[in-house]
A and B are shown apart, each in its own frame.
Chain A
Amino acid sequence: MTLSWKRIYAIFQKDLKDLSKNLYVTSIFILPFLMAFLYGKMYDANLEIHYIIINLTLASVTAFIQCAVIAEEKEKHTLRGLMLSPASVADILTGKSLVSFILSVVTIVLCAMITGYEPANIVYVSIAIFISMLFYLALGTVFGLLTRTVVEASVIFLPVIFLFGFGSMLMMLVDKYPVLSFIEYLPNIQLVDFAYKVEEGAGFGELWSHLAILLAWGVVTIILAAVVYKKREIDK
């Protein structure tokens, strides 16, 4: 698989310009900021609050915007133009992920500043969030490729935003119903567990299992996104 930075940058530039004029999608961008202001004013923000906002950003900005931009490319028949160009799958998917990635980084940093989140070890936390982003970008790509329109993508993606954005609330269900213990392995829950351990001063030896689980989610979803993309290249 080859990567052309010129092509990736061209797709990124186009998406940035296109997204700046897309009110529907950019309105999603406001959601985490609203939460950050609201929680920042209402509570003395703890780690749980910081990660509700971070997970919400990952689910809405990272995954949903990714899903919406891919779904729109399909809806307007522009994805076919990219597919028929010499750009490889990697060029197209990387280029199309860059805007969501950069918007997510900016949102997380600004929201953390609003709520006053200062991780005990910023390197570990950044690595975990970066790996999580790979998963959410790939998840958004898969949903974008599977839906036909932006409206359809928005409807289908709502439960996903709820599951991953407010998933930590589901942990209460795990205590009540042990059969739901698989929820503990969801990437959003793993990220929160990871953050708690970092605050407790844990080293890499205690943290790697969380990173490995996050990475496994990321790799599996990226492979799934590539497979779905290749299937979409050829009509039925």
Chain B
Amino acid sequence: MENIIEVKNLAKVFGNQTALEDVNFSVKKGETFGFLGPSGSGKTTTIKILTGQLMQTAGEAEVFGVKNSSLNSGSYRRRIGVLSDNSGLYQRLSIEDNLKLYCDLYDVPRKRMDEVLELVNLADEKKKIVSKLSKGMLQRVLLARTLLHEPELLFLDEPTSALDPANSKQIHEGLRRLNEKGTTIFLTTHDMSEAETLCNRVAFLHKGKIQLLDEPMALRRQFSDGSVTVELRDGKVVNLPGGKEGAEEVYNYMSSNQVVSIHSNEPTLGDIFVEITGRELV
């Protein structure tokens, strides 16, 4: 499949602080790619470079075959949508007025507003003044604005960080639908369940370097110790190691018809991150 984003040996230094060091990855067309890491790991710096808001110190970044030096052209910006922590809305205007402006800037018919507001569950709130909205609603309006022009590539920087579980779920469903329609999504998050739910591949970023990059399930298998948890008829739950010893015990429980369920114990993405970096993903 065609690569939409190609990043080679990317580095960014602010003064004497290294934000990114020798970062290499590519994102395929139609993929949801997760960039995972704690605050300050370089996620936002990477998005800023890929959206033409920041110049790298070294290395190459190409999106749609456009080199980083040309990533601030109008034609490129029409193809991307960016939701980041420095996105803002006009506080004194209504949700509708905010979106109308962007419909005209992107030359999108205004009926598109209703579609995106439906997607973020704000269809009935469009007359509300932005300054009166909760943090979660603001985030959903920003997401709606990002989706207005149906970008081919979405850069989402912590898109559900301020949302409650119900709204997060709805946003996830919306993003999945967009992805199914062919939108490529570059997502940064420190929410492991979000990454597992949405991403085809994830990269772990720590101290400006990519530590691991693969499919979530492949990473979980790679870091699995092969142990299983067995639930028995008498209510006991036992953890059994992988290998011959564990296999014999499972056989014994099964042959005596004591087993209710067996689950493999793959680590979560969060566990893997802690294992390779020694710190929590927050």
A→B interface (CB under 8 Å) = 2, 6-7, 9-11, 13-14, 17-18, 21-22, 76-78, 80-88, 233-235
Contact = CB atoms under 8 A, between A and B. Distances in A.
Interface in B160-193: none
B262 to A, nearest CB: 50
A86 B90 contact: no
Contact of A82 (B55, B72, B105): B105
Nearest to A9: B104
30 contacts: A2-B74, A6-B107, A10-B104, A11-B105, A14-B100, A17-B93, A17-B97, A18-B93, A21-B93, A22-B92, A76-B88, A77-B87, A77-B88, A78-B88, A81-B88, A83-B53, A84-B51, A84-B82, A85-B102, A85-B105, A85-B106, A86-B74, A86-B77, A86-B105, A87-B105, A88-B74, A234-B52, A234-B53, A234-B55, A235-B53
B54 A234 contact: yes
A86 B101 CA distance: 12
A76 B87 CA distance: 8
Contacts, number: 75
Interface in B5-25: none
A10 B105 contact: yes
Choose among A21, A83, A84 the residue with the greatest number of B CB atoms under 10 Å from its CB: A84
Report whether over half of chain A's contact residues are helix, strand or loop; otherwise say mixed.
helix
A22 B86 CA distance: 22
Contacts of A85: 77, 102, 105-106
Given A17-B93, A233-B72, A234-B53, 11 more contacts: A2-B74, A9-B104, A10-B101, A11-B101, A76-B88, A76-B89, A76-B91, A85-B77, A234-B54, A235-B48, A235-B54
Report whether over half of chain B's contact residues are helix, strand or loop; otherwise say mixed.
loop
Contacts of B92: 18, 21-22
